[in-house]
Structure 1
Amino acid sequence: MFKIIHWIIFFCLIEAKPQAFDDFYTAINSIDGDSILKHFHFLASDSVQGRGLGSQGIEIAAKYISNKFQQYGLKPNPKSNNYFQEIPMHGSLPLNSSELKIYNLDSVITLRYSQDYYLYKAGQQTYIPSPLEMVFVGYGIVAPEYDYNDYQTVDVTGKIVVYLDNEPKSEDPDYFNGQNPTHYSFAEVKRQIALSRGAAGTIIIPFENYTDWNFVKRDFDLEDINLAYSITSNLSLIINPECVNHIFKDSGYYFEDIVKMYYSHKMKSFELKTRLSFKGAFKERNFVEKNIIGFIPGVDTKLKDTYLIISAHYDHLGIGIPVNGDSIYNGALDNAIGVSVLMEIARVFSKLSVAPKRTVIFIAFTGEEKGLLGSTYYCDNPVFPLYKTIANVNIDGIAFFRDFKSIVGVGAQYSSLEDKLLETANRYQLTVEDIPDEFNSITAFTNSDNYAFALNGVPSILILEGISNKTKSREEVIEAFIDFYLNRYHTPLDDLNQYIDIVAAERHAKIIFDFCFSLSNSSIAPEWKKDAPFLKAKLRNIAEKR
């Protein structure tokens, strides 16, 4: 009774017709765990070969999803008259025959690919035939708001810069967010800062984000894939800390000294006495990938030309390094289950007797695992105007446990989507929690497709289950999350052998549907908060009618 009363109040607030309540109630209760499970078993099976980019397996998955969109009666991409948005991509796999040499005052050291270093970004244009000078630049950060500049005392023009993978730590929450990370800790942000200062290339020393070189291998011993129009021409390496002293030789410092600088909060930048050359050998290919797009037109005369995007990525890592004899990286929880829920929500929306006021767009993105490529391409080439897109609700992972008592709105703190999430949670007697301290709140938002929309001015959110649970302790829930990320995430063990609580998945799907239904029928569009870092992009979209 409690939930029904809250739904009645909700329908009054959105000024819905009386029959809309019955329509909604019938729709939400038709969300079917068995339907989700059927999609999941297909998309996470070995037959789709881990849904790697440019593979036959991901083609099979794309056809499966597009066929479902067609069965549900979704309208196709109006720019292609089918359900696909085609994306030119370029793949580059560095070979062990690549030559990276470090020149010091009296010798030349050749580093070994995969054992001593990986390419953070790869491309045939990455070629340094003549040795270039190198400079250590601390964390590689320029942050005016914190009066911090690692480049202030050094000239890096035409040189290779070397930096740690983290940022200054502080007890002061107003200085680099205290103990929590800021976006300055991101490798891509550091790389862009270096290039903007005139650097010819970058070398990352993994110090905090990776504690074991085997974890680096897991993330980088794969083909590097980029949008065809954004292939890098600058050297970008990640180096094994065990051999980093080859770089620091004769500089007056060793890596141990850098570690002391970090812990004493006395980081400094300085010229290195070594130089570097690189001659890459690559196996390359060009291919076309696909986002899958279907939509339900809105029916309100004033709101039908505004858009809500509900998304999930359907790609994974394909076939890779065998683990216990298994080389297929199925990506069951990441993100076959998420895109299965997306399809079920699309089916239920399509069954409404009265369509939502706003147009609802469903997108299965490709290329998320390689750096949000599909969502980035969509934002660069929007099918529907971004300035009229009210929000993106992204689905990346579904609840582990059926008895969750809380939810987390990743990214909700930046916009009024936070208020809408609280309203939804109240209808289910749930609380809304922050991301637990045990997890990185910044990367939780930036590691999935919702971030591409935020960067392009569209309020976005990822709704996850919280750690409060009726039958499990906080410690048990956190332990289960950590166990997945340490032992199965991005490995062949994320497969159909994992237990899926389909009741939890169905419950989570209903909450997302409720949230999206509310957004699609509300006359009030979500807005960025005044201090949100994405507000300027939204204003730019409006000014440019992009």
Structure 2
Amino acid sequence: MPRHLLLCLLAAATLAACNREQPAADAPPAGQAAAPGAAHAFSPEITAGDFAEMVKTLSSDEFGGRGPGSPGEDRTVEYIRAQYERIGLEPGGENGSWYQTVPMVETTADESTVLNLEVKGKSHALKFGPDMVIGTRSGQTEVKVDGSELVFVGYGVNAPEQGWNDYAGVDVKGKTVVMLVNDPGFHAGDESLFEGKRMTYYGRWTYKYDEAARQGAQAAIIIHDTEGASYGWDVVKNSWSGAQFDLRAADDPEPRLPAQGWISQEVAKQLFADAGMDLAQMYKAANQRGFKAVPMDAKVSFDLKSTVAEKSSRNVVGVLRGSSKPDEAIVYMAHWDHLGNHAHEGEAADGDDQIYNGAVDNATGVAGIIEIAAKFAGSEPKPARSLVFLAVTLEESGLLGSKYHVAHPTFPLDKTVAVVNLDAMNVNGAARDMVVVGKGSSELEDILKTYTDEQQRTHVSETNTAAGYYFRSDHFNYAKAGVPALYAKGGDDLVEGGRAAGEAAGKAYTESRYHKPADEFDPNWNLDGVVQDLQALYGVGRTLADDADRWPNWYEGNPFRAAREEMMAAKPAAAQAGAAATQ
């Protein structure tokens, strides 16, 4: 998504939720009327009118920002279910239902929490929101840190294959690590380190916290900067305020930090200055190979109280069975969740709009996979392979719904041919190009090119490769598991207005609407590009669904290729067919 950001990549965004039990897995919410939009006359073809109707409905105030665990979830998953049923899909969830229950832990930090810093005898009290954000994934209602020593660990990266370890020679057990966002080399403009300006997974804040936990740290703090994160402080603040969601520890056994958070760059500059360090010089030092972590003459203390509740959310799964190879599938996916309603129950804070409608992010993707599903269901001949249409939850909380689904898939991963992800579609008009996020990853790009060539469009990489978008959307969980995954969307070179118009529209969205209440449906959108994109992405699935001997792979040198080949080694017939198809 465009916050996604590479991720990502990327913020474990907040999602408002209510404290009440979830309905049974396949039961419509009590008293739920017919799905909104039921009066609209839908076409089996891909049309701008159908797409607009669904986006308008999903992003309406009635859906409350589609927060997991909220009444907005009930309306959302029921609406998606109704669309799948209208199209003629089969339920693909658990126990013959449309839904896959995703167990989750909802944690809401007390925003009166203060981080108390002691720096060479000088005290600072950092406030939640303007100065810092902090939270816990531990499931504990109270996390106390008393006088934890701060250690600056550069980018917080341990990458053996890159010959890079920011933790070399330092023991951070029981300490609080302070680190920079993005990859080594990024802020120095050193193209020889990692992948230059293109973010790798090591640049994602999610990786940094995970690595700090593996190193035994008591807490971790990332220094925000807009260029390195690819979004401003307001996105961090909005994403970390209110309810946060996570999988249960039993479903995600990786180590977890007791506490983790961000500080603003202004706060960081003062902190480093008081510690007798120059933050600008530390940026330079951290970008040098052989960097050594620097203990800071500073300590942090805080008492983080949170409300914690075990709940569940739902993925919505529809299946169109293949005619001759129904046990093999192509997956189309999009996340339905957004940031919910940040107003206190029953009131709008200071009269301001507090509903994060998430029209572009990602009502557009959900509407897109439903449009593609309708096209498949109404087409002849019927596809040979099965198609899965997966609307996942908890993307904004760190790709959790897709992570859970990959661990409990509708079709085994070695029977999953490919994944096509739709996230934050282009609503600015037809484009001469198509952005392939993470361009140069897999043979799915070759199939896509067949259809974009017909549209006289070129393939381009994402403009802001530093944002790590490839790691910030749900296909990434499939990719890590080895399944070839494609994430592509309309480009910036608009037919009307050219690249200048496209880039201006993208900038306006990122600055004014992304992860803000202003991300609302606009009847003046130009959806010609959406139709273009959906037709091209439909073509990718159509090719794979009809050519039942084709098994696309990752390109040589891609880090996910080994996982795919290891997975397929147990299926020699499929592996041989795939090898033959790609020669």
TM range (shorter): 0.7 to 0.9
Partner amino acid, structure 2, of 1:128: K
Match status 1:199 vs 2:217: yes
How much does 1:284 deviate? 2.6
Match status 1:209 vs 2:233: no
How much does 1:240 deviate? 2.7
Partner amino acid, structure 2, of 1:203: I
Alignment of 1:101-180 (within 5 A): 101-104=116-119, 106=121, 109-119=124-134, 121-125=136-140, 127-169=143-185, 173-180=191-198
Task: Pick which of 33-42 and 106-115 moved more.
Answer: 106-115
Deviations 1:340-397 (A, max 9, x none): 1211211121112432111111111111111111111101111210111011101112
How much does 1:104 deviate? 4.5
- Secondary structure at the aligned position of 1:67 is classed as helix
Q: From 505, 509, 515, give the equivalent of 1:480.
A: 505
How much does 1:93 deviate? 1.3
Q: Give the distance between the partners of 2:260 and 2:502, measured in 1 at CA.
A: 38
Q: Give the distance between the partners of 2:376 and 2:466, measured in 1 at CA.
A: 31
Relative to structure 1, the CA distance from residue 493 to residue 99 in structure 2 (aligned partners, 3 Å threshold; closer, same or farther) is: closer
State whether residues 456 and 534 of structure 1, in contact with CA within 8 Å, keep that contact through their aligned partners in structure 2. yes
Relative to structure 1, the CA distance from residue 147 to residue 264 in structure 2 (aligned partners, 3 Å threshold; closer, same or farther) is: closer
Match status 1:294 vs 2:318: yes
Q: Give the distance between the partners of 1:288 and 1:70, measured in 2 at CA.
A: 23
Alignment of 1:425-436 (within 5 A): 425-436=452-463
Corresponding residue number in structure 2 for 1:218: 238
- Secondary structure at the aligned position of 1:445 is classed as coil
Relative to structure 1, the CA distance from residue 411 to residue 266 in structure 2 (aligned partners, 3 Å threshold; closer, same or farther) is: closer
Q: Give the distance between the partners of 1:358 and 1:297, measured in 2 at CA.
A: 7
Partner amino acid, structure 2, of 1:62: V
- Secondary structure at the aligned position of 1:176 is classed as coil
State whether residues 312 and 364 of structure 1, in contact with CA within 8 Å, keep that contact through their aligned partners in structure 2. yes
How much does 1:121 deviate? 4.4
Q: From 327, 336, 339, give the equivalent of 2:363.
A: 336
Corresponding residue number in structure 2 for 1:316: 338
Q: From 451, 457, 472, give the equivalent of 2:482.
A: 457
Q: Give the distance between the partners of 1:351 and 1:252, measured in 2 at CA.
A: 68
How much does 1:65 deviate? 0.8
- Secondary structure at the aligned position of 1:328 is classed as coil
State whether residues 210 and 216 of structure 1, in contact with CA within 8 Å, keep that contact through their aligned partners in structure 2. no
Task: Pick which of 186-195 and 232-241 moved more.
Answer: 232-241
Q: From 372, 388, 392, give the equivalent of 1:345.
A: 372
How much does 1:224 deviate? 1.4
Relative to structure 1, the CA distance from residue 456 to residue 251 in structure 2 (aligned partners, 3 Å threshold; closer, same or farther) is: same
Corresponding residue number in structure 2 for 1:22: none
Q: Give the distance between the partners of 1:76 and 1:377, measured in 2 at CA.
A: 18
Partner amino acid, structure 1, of 2:240: F
Corresponding residue number in structure 2 for 1:6: none
Alignment of 1:38-437 (within 5 A): 38-77=53-92, 79-104=94-119, 106=121, 109-119=124-134, 121-125=136-140, 127-169=143-185, 173-207=191-225, 208-209=228-229, 213-229=233-249, 230=252, 232-244=256-268, 248=272, 251-259=275-283, 261=285, 268-300=292-324, 303-320=325-342, 325-436=352-463
Relative to structure 1, the CA distance from residue 249 to residue 481 in structure 2 (aligned partners, 3 Å threshold; closer, same or farther) is: closer
State whether residues 115 and 127 of structure 2, in contact with CA within 8 Å, keep that contact through their aligned partners in structure 1. yes
Deviations 1:473-509 (A, max 9, x none): 2111111111111111111111124632233322322
- Secondary structure at the aligned position of 2:327 is classed as coil
State whether residues 132 and 159 of structure 1, in contact with CA within 8 Å, keep that contact through their aligned partners in structure 2. yes
Relative to structure 1, the CA distance from residue 249 to residue 509 in structure 2 (aligned partners, 3 Å threshold; closer, same or farther) is: closer
State whether residues 335 and 396 of structure 1, in contact with CA within 8 Å, keep that contact through their aligned partners in structure 2. yes
Deviations 1:209-234 (A, max 9, x none): 27854343233223211112349452
- Secondary structure at the aligned position of 1:391 is classed as strand
Match status 1:531 vs 2:583: no
Q: Give the distance between the partners of 1:104 and 1:442, measured in 2 at CA.
A: 32
Match status 1:31 vs 2:46: yes
Task: Pick which of 444-453 and 423-432 moved more.
Answer: 423-432
Partner amino acid, structure 2, of 1:182: T
Relative to structure 1, the CA distance from residue 275 to residue 430 in structure 2 (aligned partners, 3 Å threshold; closer, same or farther) is: same
State whether residues 164 and 290 of structure 2, in contact with CA within 8 Å, keep that contact through their aligned partners in structure 1. no
Q: Give the distance between the partners of 1:36 and 1:113, measured in 2 at CA.
A: 39
**TM-score under structure 2 length normalisation:** 0.82
Q: Give the distance between the partners of 1:401 and 1:105, measured in 2 at CA.
A: 53
Q: Which has the larger Rg?
A: 1
State whether residues 136 and 162 of structure 1, in contact with CA within 8 Å, keep that contact through their aligned partners in structure 2. yes
Q: Give the distance between the partners of 1:510 and 1:500, measured in 2 at CA.
A: 18
Relative to structure 1, the CA distance from residue 243 to residue 90 in structure 2 (aligned partners, 3 Å threshold; closer, same or farther) is: same
Q: Percent of aligned pairs with the same residue?
A: 29
Partner amino acid, structure 1, of 2:331: I
How much does 1:471 deviate? 2.7
Q: Give the distance between the partners of 1:494 and 1:72, measured in 2 at CA.
A: 28
State whether residues 448 and 537 of structure 2, in contact with CA within 8 Å, keep that contact through their aligned partners in structure 1. no
Q: From 439, 442, 448, give the equivalent of 2:473.
A: 448
Corresponding residue number in structure 2 for 1:470: 495
Q: Give the distance between the partners of 2:136 and 2:370, measured in 1 at CA.
A: 33
Q: Give the distance between the partners of 2:543 and 2:55, measured in 1 at CA.
A: 26
Q: Give the distance between the partners of 2:430 and 2:419, measured in 1 at CA.
A: 27
Relative to structure 1, the CA distance from residue 474 to residue 482 in structure 2 (aligned partners, 3 Å threshold; closer, same or farther) is: same
C-alpha root-mean-square deviation of aligned residues, in Å? Answer: 2.8
How much does 1:129 deviate? 4.4
Partner amino acid, structure 1, of 2:481: N
Q: Give the distance between the partners of 1:324 and 1:537, measured in 2 at CA.
A: 52
Q: Give the distance between the partners of 1:403 and 1:68, measured in 2 at CA.
A: 26
How much does 1:166 deviate? 3.0
Partner amino acid, structure 1, of 2:446: D
- Secondary structure at the aligned position of 1:318 is classed as coil
Partner amino acid, structure 2, of 1:457: G
Q: Give the distance between the partners of 1:56 and 1:44, measured in 2 at CA.
A: 14
- Secondary structure at the aligned position of 1:158 is classed as coil
Number of matched residues?
A: 515
Q: Give the distance between the partners of 1:468 and 1:219, measured in 2 at CA.
A: 30
How much does 1:113 deviate? 2.2
Q: Give the distance between the partners of 2:43 and 2:437, measured in 1 at CA.
A: 23
Q: Give the distance between the partners of 2:91 and 2:193, measured in 1 at CA.
A: 48
Deviations 1:88-135 (A, max 9, x none): 111111113435333455465443222332115444436234432221
How much does 1:29 deviate? 8.4
**TM-score under structure 1 length normalisation:** 0.87
Corresponding residue number in structure 2 for 1:19: none
Q: Give the distance between the partners of 1:106 and 1:171, measured in 2 at CA.
A: 36
Q: Give the distance between the partners of 1:264 and 1:151, measured in 2 at CA.
A: 14
Partner amino acid, structure 2, of 1:339: V
Corresponding residue number in structure 2 for 1:9: none
Q: Give the distance between the partners of 2:50 and 2:62, measured in 1 at CA.
A: 19
Normalized per residue, the structure richer in helix is 1
How much does 1:239 deviate? 1.6
State whether residues 296 and 355 of structure 1, in contact with CA within 8 Å, keep that contact through their aligned partners in structure 2. no
Q: Give the distance between the partners of 2:376 and 2:393, measured in 1 at CA.
A: 23
Unpaired runs of 5+ in structure 2?
Answer: 1-41, 344-348, 572-583
State whether residues 248 and 274 of structure 1, in contact with CA within 8 Å, keep that contact through their aligned partners in structure 2. no
